[in-house]
A and B are shown apart, each in its own frame.
Chain A
Amino acid sequence: QKEVEQNSGPLSVPEGAIASLNCTYSDRGSQSFFWYRQYSGKSPELIMSIYSNGDKEDGRFTAQLNKASQYVSLLIRDSQPSDSATYLCAVTGYGNKLVFGAGTILRVKS
């Protein structure tokens, strides 16, 4: 079982719609959860962090965490073509190393 799992996609949504990206993790001791966006050929860019159960909102982005279900998600409201990228879910447990999922490709169609 992979430590962090994401649907590879591509996930296609029309412009203006809500994109929902999901991630599950296997280590119950995981403490911190991050979403990074990576454009093709570029570096990962941190867009959200979440540490406790519930929702965290920042602009058009909402991260949701459910530790009992070992599940973290990212919602992107009013999706724009510029949101088209690979979204990486990353988790830290004991120690500081980030464990990444393989990423979900998001395509926003105009």
Chain B
Amino acid sequence: NAGVMQNPRHLVRRRGQEARLRCSPMKGHSHVYWYRQLPEEGLKFMVYLQKENIIDESGMPKERFSAEFPKEGPSILRIQQVVRGDSAAYFCASSQQGNSNQPQHFGDGTRLSIL
């Protein structure tokens, strides 16, 4: 499967725990984007990364959220001390280049549920 791979597909956490979401971009893509879709709301941009660099984190909450895209391995979105409001679908997308006209292709998402 050469598409964007996200895991896990479903993640359940209790309040106060940590959530780690993983994303492997499409083969040949080095640009990764994370989006969040809250229930009954649209997709909202969170962060844009290239290998080892955060390019734009303007949509990322200032506290508890962090993202990385190491030289080797998948991109990780990390949420510390989760709260009920973090329950959402988290989608990762990738593009081949970093131009604004590059289509972004989405993974199947991680559905995060906070108990």
Chain A residues close to B by CB (< 8 Å): 31-32, 34, 36, 42-46, 49, 51, 88, 90, 92-103
How many angstroms from the CA of A51 to the CA of B101 in the assembled complex?
A: 7
Chain B residues close to A by CB (< 8 Å): 31, 33, 35, 41-45, 48, 55-56, 58-59, 91, 93, 95, 98-109
20 new A-B contacts at CB < 8 Å, known A31-B100, A96-B56: A31-B101, A32-B100, A42-B108, A43-B91, A43-B108, A46-B104, A88-B42, A88-B43, A96-B31, A96-B33, A96-B48, A96-B98, A96-B104, A97-B33, A97-B56, A100-B35, A100-B43, A100-B44, A101-B42, A103-B42
How many angstroms from the CA of A97 to the CA of B95 in the assembled complex?
A: 11
Please count the residue pairs between chain A and chain B whose beta carbons lie under 8 angstroms apart in the complex: 66
How many angstroms from the CA of A95 to the CA of B56 in the assembled complex?
A: 8
Measured CB to CB, the nearest residue on chain B to A49 is B103
How many angstroms from the CA of A37 to the CA of B112 in the assembled complex?
A: 22
Q: Is the CB of A98 within 8 A of B95?
A: no
User: Chain B contacts of A93 at CB under 8 A?
Assistant: 100
A–B pairs, 11, beta carbons within 8 Å: A34-B103, A43-B106, A43-B109, A93-B100, A95-B48, A95-B56, A95-B100, A96-B95, A97-B45, A98-B35, A100-B43
How many angstroms from the CA of A10 to the CA of B108 in the assembled complex?
A: 24
Q: Is the CB of B107 within 8 A of A43?
A: yes
How many angstroms from the CA of A32 to the CA of B62 in the assembled complex?
A: 28
Measured CB to CB, the nearest residue on chain B to A45 is B106
Measured CB to CB, the nearest residue on chain B to A48 is B103
Quote the shortest CB–CB distance from B97 to chain A (angstroms).
9
CB within 8 Å for A102 and B42 given contacts A31-B101, A32-B101, A96-B95: yes
Q: Is the CB of B45 within 8 A of A102?
A: no
User: Chain B contacts of A49 at CB under 8 A?
Assistant: 101, 103
User: Chain A contacts of B33 at CB under 8 A?
Assistant: 96-98
How many angstroms from the CA of A101 to the CA of B42 in the assembled complex?
A: 6
How many angstroms from the CA of A94 to the CA of B58 in the assembled complex?
A: 13
How many angstroms from the CA of A95 to the CA of B104 in the assembled complex?
A: 13
User: Chain A contacts of B45 at CB under 8 A?
Assistant: 97-99
